[in-house]
Chain A
Amino acid sequence: MPNTLLPNYFELFDLPIQYAVDDECLKERYHKLQSNFHPDRFLDSTEQEKRIALHYTALINEAYTVLKSPIKRAKYLLELQQIDLSEENVGHMAPEFLMQQMDLHERLAMLSNAVSQSAELVAIDADLQQQFSQLANEFIECYQNSNFLGAKKQFEKMQFIDKLISLVKQKNYALCD
């Protein structure tokens, strides 16, 4: 199928191209799309219709995965503006930011798997979440003003924080075991 015909993820969900997304609305539309276009609804159709239904359902699934994840959504917004995200350089990042991240990394690494550490973990998590939403706000501001390179810089920081957040999750998992 010609890719040019496919709608972008926001169009697919009939949503404005922006960072802010209402989770409930997204989920509702996702269910609605799936309920109508899932291959299960095309079991008696022609091979062609089956193929297209499969293709679109996969696209709807992929779009939903991207739109519901703040970090993936930010990345996709930049990709829509043809911003090149391939190079992974931290060279231009502010030293204070990098220092801060290394510090958090260290705090995480120091944690043993003892349950007594869970309070510390909760504190780190809260700290990270707060940093992430702050960065997201800056991202939104840059993006709205068509300052896509500025948005990219915020995104790169968001990526850092996001990785730390998943580290915290893993720690949490190990802790409960």
Chain B
Amino acid sequence: MTLLSISEPNSIIQPRKKNVAGIDLGTTNSLIAVVDDKPLILSNEDDNSILPSVVYYPKSGDPVVGEAAKKFIVTEPEHVITSVKRLMGRGIEDVAQIASLIPYKIDQKSQQGMVYLETSQGPKSPVQVSAEILKVLAHRAEVFFGEPLEKVVITVPAYFDDAQRQATKDAANLAGLSVLRLLNEPTAAAIAYGLDRDETSTIVVYDLGGGTFDVSVLQLKQEVFHVLATAGDTALGGDDFDHRIVEWFIDQTGFDRLDADNLKKIKQIASDAKELLTQKDSAILAYDIEGVQLKATLTREIFEQLIADYLKTTLTICHQALTDAELDVVDIDHIILVGGSTRIPAVRSSVETFFHKPPMIDLDPDQVVAQGAAIQADILSGNQAGNEMLLLDVLPLSLGIEIAGGLVEKIIPRNSTIPAMRSKTFTTSKDGQVAIALSVVQGERELVDDCRALAKFELRGIPPMVAGAARIEVTFQVDADGLLTVSAKELTSGVKNQIVMKPSYGLTDEEMASMIKASYTHAKEDLVARKLQQARIDAQQLIDSLEQAIKQDGENLLTADELGNLEEKMIALGELQCSSHDDALIMNKIQELSQESEEFAAKRMNLAIRKLLSGRSIDTV
């Protein structure tokens, strides 16, 4: 880490090992893992490591999560929420498509935009429900560390779009967790396998979970995991297999007067039968209703027929990922299986047939994602000194903007390595126009209606000019979590535009803020004190890092005037930071000093890059 000296002036002090964990927030089950010499999945008091992603809302008191909540599916199915991951970042019209799979009620509150679920404690968003699951997991880590959990890596399906990722991050924030990184599940699995880094290898990760299917193609070379392509279906998984069994069962028994509650119970029986079939050749399904017993025997052969088209779909998606990565089946060295649904023998054999190679199954497919997340958390937090592993992941779905005629103009294409940044210039169509509206979409289709609407933006504060004269540069930036931010600038005047963002399926910043506030157990003063403390830390950190930078490169890269100006501002910020109690003012001055030193920082970066690469050529000569 060549540049560490810039950023960590106190790096002489041996850092304390940080309390970090990796979380697999799954459709059916969730897990948390830490690295304690090696990855370790944490269990609860009853020694259960798997936490079913099930939340029960009693009429009063705290929500019940996990195995305990599952018990209420029998007695109070209407108050139990399962598979909530399928609703993350989703709108009411998406839910209609999977309504038969989710036998709980959608609250009236959800009209446009985010879905709310009806519970006995009022409407709850999927973000809130997921936060309950995360809190229970975090508690396990706190018991393990005997101290608060500092940071987490949370995994998401590689094919999650921006809204789904944002919803996941919101859930973590709501649960009071600080997110180091959102990590794609297949990538996490590849890390967990810890393949030999000395040779270059190409890996396919086939991840079939409860509700999602993902495939990623990665290349591992020395320390770098480079994801070449990813593809998937966020609504294909074991849930769908269960559903097929339910349909088959109804068909076999001829009993079709089943309400939502009964369906939910039968779905559980179907799921149990599916699990049994991984070991046995047949399973008996029996259900008592209205004094009769419905009964049918499901053989493995019938089950395989029931899911055959789903398996074919997964292989088509594998093919697509290979094509995008510009590779053939023969180029693949390893196939890793992830997700509970890969225990199904038919899944394994179809993967083996497709790739002409047996998949690796050394690690438990239910645990491998959480293990990989824990390793990544450990590396990112600096706990593994000397481990220089780097992950380069990709954007799963193209990002674009709506143009005239309901068409999409792609700004960042899918499978671009992230972080990514692209700009596009727009103009006004009317004289004196001071605002323009833009709609951001994600997806591969050409029509806006066929893509997912992410947000609508309104750019305001454009200086009035004749039509076509303004040049508004809109910049899309995707960070290492795969999350998008959009900024805009009018180029002729240099005016930065205010952006008013309305997420299509997420919580607005205000909603998030009020939810977090409501969940805070701390007094208000506590919150204020914390913000001030953070501002002071940030100010000091900026000053320290600049001092260090000036010491190294000030003479080289700054004129005497520039240096004097910077030092003056640094002293001013230092004084303000000590004397002021106004966190907003301090943050404001930090911003100013950052801006002021931006050019210096960029020049240092250029210098560092030159040094790095010229160092390389000398090394190799």
Contacts and interface: CB of A to CB of B under 8 A. Distances in A.
Given A14-B614, A46-B7, A61-B418, A38 B480 contact: yes
Interface stretch (B191-199, B255-263, B517-525, B591-599): B591-599
B541 A1 contact: no
A41 B602 contact: no
Contacts of B7: 42, 44-46, 49
Nearest to B328: A176
A65 B417 contact: yes
B329 to A, nearest CB: 9
B390 A43 contact: no
A58 B477 contact: yes
A56 B480 CA distance: 13
B380 interface: yes
Interface in A4-51: 5-7, 12-14, 27, 29, 31-49, 51
Chain A contact-residue range equals: 35 or more
Interface string B225-257: 010000000000000000000000000000000
Interface stretch (B116-124, B434-442, B563-571, B605-613): B605-613
A39 B594 contact: no
A46 B9 CA distance: 12
B388 A35 contact: yes
18 contacts: A14-B610, A14-B613, A31-B390, A37-B3, A38-B390, A39-B479, A42-B3, A43-B180, A46-B538, A47-B542, A48-B598, A49-B601, A52-B605, A55-B421, A58-B420, A58-B421, A59-B421, A62-B421
A64 interface: yes
Contact of B613 (A6, A13, A61): A13
Interface of B: 1-4, 6-8, 180-181, 221-224, 226, 316, 319-320, 323, 380-382, 388, 390-392, 416-422, 477-480, 538, 541-542, 545, 590, 594, 597-599, 601-603, 605-606, 608-610, 612-614, 616-617
A88 interface: no
Interface centre among B180, B392, B597 (most CB of A within 10 A): B392
A39 B416 CA distance: 16
Nearest to B610: A14
Contacts of A13: 613
A98 B388 CA distance: 52
A94 B263 CA distance: 68
A38 B380 CA distance: 11
Interface in A37-93: 37-49, 51-52, 54-59, 61-62, 64-65
Contacts of A1: 598-599, 602
Given A32-B612, A47-B594, A177-B316, A61 B416 contact: yes
A7 B609 contact: yes
Given A37-B609, A47-B542, A54-B421, 11 more contacts: A31-B224, A33-B609, A34-B392, A35-B224, A35-B390, A39-B480, A45-B8, A46-B541, A48-B598, A54-B419, A59-B421
A43 B376 CA distance: 13
A105 interface: no
Contact of A61 (B320, B420, B598, B612): B420
B6 A49 contact: yes
A46 B542 contact: yes
Contacts of B392: 34, 38
B326 to A, nearest CB: 8
A5 B606 contact: yes
A79 B226 CA distance: 29
A107 interface: no
A124 to B, nearest CB: 18
Nearest to A28: B616
A41 to B, nearest CB: 5
A29 B616 contact: yes
B548 to A, nearest CB: 11
A55 B423 CA distance: 12
Interface of A: 1-2, 5-7, 12-14, 27, 29, 31-49, 51-52, 54-59, 61-62, 64-65, 169, 173, 176-177
B223 A35 contact: yes
Contact of A44 (B8, B226, B603, B613): B8
A33 B614 CA distance: 12
B421 A40 contact: no
A2 B596 CA distance: 12
A119 B326 CA distance: 19
A115 to B, nearest CB: 15
Nearest to A36: B2
A151 to B, nearest CB: 26
Interface centre among B180, B480, B603, B609 (most CB of A within 10 A): B609
Nearest to A15: B613
A64 to B, nearest CB: 7
Given A46-B542, A48-B542, A36 B3 contact: yes
B390 to A, nearest CB: 5
A38 B612 CA distance: 14
A128 B45 CA distance: 65
Contact of A177 (B319, B390, B418, B603): B319
Contacts of B4: 41
A86 to B, nearest CB: 13
A61 B227 CA distance: 13
Interface centre among A32, A33, A49, A55 (most CB of B within 10 A): A49
- Enumerate the 3 nearest inter-chain pairs by beta-carbon distance, A residue then B residue, closest first: A45-B7, A58-B421, A14-B613
Nearest to A170: B323
A14 B617 CA distance: 10
Contact of B602 (A2, A33, A37, A57): A2
Interface centre among B221, B390, B419, B479 (most CB of A within 10 A): B419
Contacts of A36: 1-3, 608, 612
A65 B594 CA distance: 30
Contacts of B316: 177
Contact of A32 (B8, B603, B610, B616): B616
A32 B590 CA distance: 31
A113 B249 CA distance: 38
Contacts of A5: 599, 602-603, 606
Nearest to B543: A46
Nearest to A38: B390
A39 B237 CA distance: 33
